[in-house]
């Protein structure tokens, strides 16, 4: 019998037409071009270029023999280390009982949306997967557009506006800083003001702090400091520890949301059972921190800061508007001042721009429309991660940390990323 659903066969309504996540798709496309001999500048996928710190790798080696399933909630020693780390850094009072470990924070975000009954509120630009996850589950999404002038950040008015008319509706607001895709972050005063408003309307904050440890000044503050009872902190090893492929994420819950943690744990036990055992043992070492890890982070921050600031400056000189990066490894330039010149190449929106860049210049980056921005806006995300992080790190280790890394360093150790950005800027300048 002919399937009346046509090409969709019997797919669940929520996933019909769903393609691969943009970050994954651009990476796979770039890799496949590379396999066919094209030299692509890979500024699409946001993957740390740096190696995992040696003591953490060592701990993984030592625990390769660990083969048993662990508790679904996570290895007790790891949950203790994570709670302790957050208490030390942000003055919280978390315990191991407040921590949930998962195979990447992405999976935990999905479980959160599955278990929590309420709307998801997403400031835009926002990471590519928050909205598709909500759609897959069938949760309503509200967008909170931000502006370049505000550094792509929300402020307390945004929360008031969305909550005031219907203040009893259950909601989760996603806060992500240092931000993917803009690279900007919140000051203490800004966090304080947002926390005050969130508390007033009793909304849950999902504070995605996966880039917290790569705040360029090493001064990341969790909003949980100001709103501990309503904030879930999301973090993991992927970004600061260079271990995206290890798939280790965690949530730190307030005691008051134990019912939510328990529900997510129950669903986890029916789906992924538990997170990889050797990886959890190794992660204990990562969250214990100490001198070696702090030194590693200081060098990672210094390199990313120098490259991010240089790239932002070059893009500005080429005519784009770019917020000054403060953390993570992304820029979110707005090319609209160049719209007339771009139109001569039939580039009218961010998707056209990214397609042209990949096809004509082999530079892979992602359109702003993937980050919840309007389809006709000329914004895009550049992940400045295409360089040999191990080489850059060991070169940086020979330069005193009090020094800033100059152009010489970037010229030598941050290619191909820098070459890709130079080519893009040369092309923009010559338009």
Smallest separation, CB 237 to ligand GLU (Å): 13
CB of 383 to ligand GLU, least distance (A): 6
Q: Give least dist CB 156 to ligand GLU, A.
A: 27
Q: Which is nearer to ligand GLU, 59 or 326 (CB)?
A: 326
Cβ distance to ligand GLU smaller for residue 226 or 365: 365
Closest to ligand GLU by CB, 105 or 305: 105
Q: How far is the CB of 199 from ligand GLU (least distance, A)?
A: 29
- 10 Å CB burial of residue 403 (0-12, 13-18, 19+) is exposed
CA 315 → CA 34, 74, 319, 335, 338, distances in Å?
25, 44, 6, 9, 12
Distance of CA 167 to the CA centre of its chain: 29
Smallest gap from residue 76 Cβ to ligand GLU (A): 28
59 neighbors 77 (Cβ within 8 angstroms) = no
Q: Nearer to ligand GLU by C-beta: 45 or 206?
A: 45
Largest CA distance in the chain: 72
Distance CA 358, CA 122 (A): 29
Contact between 396 and 409 (Cβ < 8 Å): yes
- Supply the minimum distance, in Å, between the C-beta of residue 104 and ligand GLU: 8
As measured in angstroms, the least distance from the Cβ of 397 to ligand GLU is 26
For residues 186 and 177, the answer to whether their CB atoms sit within 8 Å is yes
Task: Using DSSP, state whether 103 is helix, strand or coil.
Answer: coil
Indicate the residue whose CB is closest to ligand GLU: 46
Alpha helices in 249-317 (DSSP H): 258-271, 277-288, 291-317
Nearest residue to 212 via CA among 152, 309, 287: 287
Please say whether the beta carbons of 107 and 248 come within 8 A: no
* Residue number, 180 or 235, with CB nearest to ligand GLU: 180
- The residue (of 95 and 129) whose beta carbon lies closer to ligand GLU is 129
Residue 336: both structure tokens together: 């609209």
* Residue 214 or 284 with smaller CB distance to ligand GLU: 214
Which residues of this chain interact with ligand GLU, rule CB under 6 A? 21, 23, 45-46, 106, 127-129, 180
CA–CA gap between residue 243 and residue 53 (Å, rounded): 9
């Amino acid at each position: 019998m002919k399937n009346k659903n046509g090409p969709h066969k019997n797919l669940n309504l929520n996933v019909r037409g769903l393609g691969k996540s943009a970050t994954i798709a651009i990476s796979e496309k770039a890799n496949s071009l590379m396999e066919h001999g094209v030299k692509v500048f890979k500024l699409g996928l946001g993957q740390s270029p740096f190696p995992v710190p040696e003591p953490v790798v060592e701990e993984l080696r030592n625990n390769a023999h660990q083969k048993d399933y662990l508790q679904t909630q996570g290895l007790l020693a790891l949950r203790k280390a994570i709670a302790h780390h957050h208490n030390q850094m942000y003055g919280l009072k978390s315990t191991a009982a407040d921590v949930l470990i998962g195979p990447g924070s992405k999976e935990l975000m999905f479980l959160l949306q599955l278990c929590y009954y309420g709307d998801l509120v997403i400031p835009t630009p926002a990471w590519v997967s928050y909205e598709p996850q909500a759609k897959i589950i069938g949760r309503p999404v509200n967008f909170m557009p931000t502006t370049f002038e505000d550094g792509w950040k929300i402020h307390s008015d945004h929360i008031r506006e969305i909550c005031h008319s219907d203040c009893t509706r259950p909601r989760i607001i996603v806060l992500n800083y240092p931000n993917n895709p803009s690279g900007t972050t919140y000051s203490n005063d800004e966090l304080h003001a947002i926390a005050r408003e969130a508390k007033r309307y009793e909304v849950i904050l999902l504070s995605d702090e996966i880039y917290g440890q790569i705040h360029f000044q090493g001064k990341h503050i969790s909003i949980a400091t100001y709103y501990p009872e309503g904030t879930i902190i999301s973090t993991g090893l992927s970004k600061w520890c260079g271990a995206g492929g290890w798939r280790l994420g965690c949530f730190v819950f307030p005691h008051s949301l134990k019912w939510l943690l328990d529900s997510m744990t129950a669903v986890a036990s029916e789906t992924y059972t538990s997170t990889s055992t050797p990886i959890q043992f190794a992660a204990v070492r990562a969250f214990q921190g100490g001198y070696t890890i702090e030194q590693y982070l200081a060098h990672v921050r210094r390199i990313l800061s120098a490259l991010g600031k240089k790239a932002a400056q070059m893009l500005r000189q080429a005519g784009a508007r770019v917020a000054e990066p403060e953390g993570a490894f992304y820029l979110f330039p707005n090319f609209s001042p160049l719209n007339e010149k771009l139109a001569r190449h039939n580039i009218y929106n961010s998707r056209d721009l990214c397609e042209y860049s990949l096809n004509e210049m082999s530079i892979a980056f992602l359109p702003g429309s993937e980050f919840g921005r309007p389809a006709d806006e000329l914004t895009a995300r550049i992940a400045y991660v295409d360089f040999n992080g191990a080489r850059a790190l060991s070169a940086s280790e020979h330069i005193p940390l009090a020094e800033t890394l100059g152009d010489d360093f970037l010229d030598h150790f941050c290619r191909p990323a820098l070459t890709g950005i130079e080519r893009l800027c040369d092309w923009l300048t010559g338009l």
